[in-house]
Amino acid sequence: METDDTAAGLLGLDTSELLAFFATLPAPSIEEMDGEYTARLLAQPGAFASVTGRATVSNPFAPWLCKAFRPVDRQTGRGYNTFRQFGRVRQRYAMHTLIAPSRYDGRPAYTLIYRAHASVCGAINMVDEVRRAAPGVYLGIGTWGFTARRRRVPLPFLLTGPVGAYRGDIGTVRRGFTPGPRELPGRTEAAQ
């Protein structure tokens, strides 16, 4: 019951409340994040974020279904998003995962780096941070943008699960890619 109550409670919070709650949560381990997790946008920080978020993930022609993850080793993992398109589940937007300092508070977060793979999400510098709100309930804060200021705008989402098995790796890995301050600004700030 705690899981349902926690998820319902997150749906009632505004963006600043979600970010404050996020700061109190622990990061899940790489091993914990294994499978598909139902995904849903939470309160967005303004009209622009609400409209672009809905257009991107609540599109009736290709609604967002989940994020999925698998451990690669003790420090890293892989993942993707799924969408329903023309009645079929499609995997999109591969990601590299690791535990890294949050851009918001420098504490550990399960971090999803899209730029490690060739995709639209990588091209717009998308990075998501995830922390555990309750067993099977995860609060995520997404970011994207071409400037440091834009990449600090929090775009909250909810993950619940796992609800299914990981379907398999997708995407083209960028050879020689190493996450830097654009992807992991909290690493630099945490070191100071």
Of the candidates 20, 34, 22, 186, the residue with the CA atom closest to the CA atom of residue 100? 186
In a domain, 172, yes or no: no
User: Would you say residue 134 lies in a domain?
Assistant: yes
pLDDT at residue 120, as a whole number: 92
Pairing state between β 76-85 and 64-71 = antiparallel
pLDDT attached to residue 62: 86
Kindly state the average pLDDT of the residues 130-146.
Answer: 96
Query: How does residue 44 score in pLDDT terms, banded at 50, 70 and 90?
Result: confident
pLDDT computed for residue 144 by the predictor: 93
* Residue-number span of the structural domain to which 18 is assigned: 2-165+178-191
CATH assignment of the domain containing 88: 2.40.128.580
What pLDDT sits at residue 1?
A: 41
Asked whether the beta carbons of 33 and 61 are under 8 A apart, the reply is no
Query: pLDDT higher for 128 or 54?
Result: 128
Higher pLDDT, 57 or 7: 7
Q: What is the structure's pLDDT at 192?
A: 37
Per-chain mean pLDDT for the chain: 91
Cβ-based burial of 164 (10 A; exposed 0-12, middle 13-18, buried ≥19): middle
Structurally, the chain folds into a number of domains equal to 1
Please report, for residues 34, 38, 39, 114, 160, the alpha-carbon distance to residue 163 in angstroms, rounded to integers and kept in the order given.
10, 7, 11, 22, 8
